[in-house]
Amino acid sequence: MGFIVKTFSIILFFFSILVSAQTPLTIERTASDVILAVAADTSSPVNETSVIYPFYYAGGAIIEFEKAFLTDYASYDSLKHFISGLQDEFKNITNDSALVLLNQYYLRINSTFYNYFKSKFFASAKTKIIFFSASVSCPCTLEMCKKQLIDILKLRKEQSGIFDFWVIDSYWNNELQIKYDAYFAPSVLVLNGDNEVIKKIEYDEQMIDRLKNFLAENDKGDN
């Protein structure tokens, strides 16, 4: 699915569907694909952006929605308004500027469905990777978080389902940072199938490279 066309439009395709168990995963994965597509072309200006925000039919089913996705509908509605408000912001800005806004949107997705993603993540028997980012911090930290978010999303795409990945906005959700003594953002944790931390890397410009090296060495040890 292509997200950058010859006119350098950025198009977020979301589906108007009934509530289903795949809904938050669809939103998150689509936003991830858009970020990677924009990051692949950092030199050309964005001349036009069309944003179609996620919409679900929830008439008479808000309680079911909240139970299924472990969030309140007001937070989800706020997410919809946030992405619709980006439509004008995206016009006539560079891809790098668009990535700043998309990074904020991606973190809001993960915050909105934090409890849902948490339940799915820790129920998996795979090796898991948590990436702690931040939506509010000093400019240098925000820049590092943005760049390393792109790198972690690239890594997930390269690994194609071998590991489970979860990005957390630690500004709004810091319980796991406290639990695992990972007080800096960006930081990354690797957990085994029993949810035990086997690697922690904090606030390092080479963090993703170090993570890749660890995963490669850990894979050798398992074989």
Q: What Cα–Cα distance (Å) separates residue 24 from each residue in 106, 164, 214? A: 12, 15, 30
Q: Please report the pLDDT score of residue 19 as a whole number.
A: 43
Q: Is the pLDDT of residue 184 over 70?
A: yes
Q: In the predicted model, is pLDDT for residue 58 greater than 50? A: no
The amino acid at residue 144 is M
User: pLDDT for 75-112, tens place per residue?
Assistant: 988 888 887 777 777 777 778 888 899 999 999 999 99
Q: Are residues 113 and 211 in the same domain?
A: no
The separation between CA 82 and the C-alpha centre of its own chain, rounded to angstroms, equals 16
Highest mean predicted confidence (pLDDT) among 16-30, 45-59, 83-97, 206-220:
206-220
Can you give the residue range of the structural domain that contains 23?
10-119
What pLDDT band is residue 14 in, cutting at 50, 70 and 90? very low
User: Do 113 and 182 fall within a single domain?
Assistant: no
Please check whether residue 203 is in contact with residue 186, taking contact to mean a CB–CB distance below 8 angstroms.
yes
**Rounded Cα distance, 87 and 84, in Å:** 6
Q: What is the pLDDT of residue 83?
A: 78
One domain for residues 113 and 134: no
Instruction: Please identify, among 104, 119, 134, the residue that sits at the C-terminal boundary of a domain.
Output: 119
Q: Are residues 60 and 91 in the same domain?
A: yes
Domain contains 166: yes
Residues 23, 107 within the same domain: yes
User: Are residues 69 and 162 located together in one domain of the fold?
Assistant: no
- Domain count across the chain: 2
Q: Are residues 20 and 99 in the same domain?
A: yes
For residue 8, is pLDDT > 50?
no
Candidate ranges 31-35, 93-97, 205-209; pick with highest mean pLDDT: 205-209
The model carries a pTM of: 0.84
Question: Could you tell me the pLDDT band of residue 23, with boundaries at 50, 70 and 90?
Answer: confident
Q: Looking at residue 10, what is its pLDDT? A: 42
Is 56 found in the same domain as 150? no
Q: Looking at 119, 146, 165, which one is the last position of a domain?
A: 119
Q: Are residues 217 and 178 in the same domain?
A: yes
In a domain? residue 4: no
Residues 106 and 44 in one domain: yes
- CA 59 to each of CA 79, 99, 111: distance values in angstroms, whole numbers, following the listed order: 18, 34, 24
For residue 163, the domain's CATH number is 3.40.30.10
Same domain, 140 and 201: yes
- At residue 102, what is the residue type? L
Residue 2 covered by a domain: no
Question: Cα 56 from chain centroid?
Answer: 20
Q: Of the residues 89, 119, 149, which one is the last residue of a structural domain?
A: 119
Averaged pLDDT of the chain: 81
Residues 20 and 102 in one domain: yes
Q: Answer yes or no: is 5 within a domain.
A: no
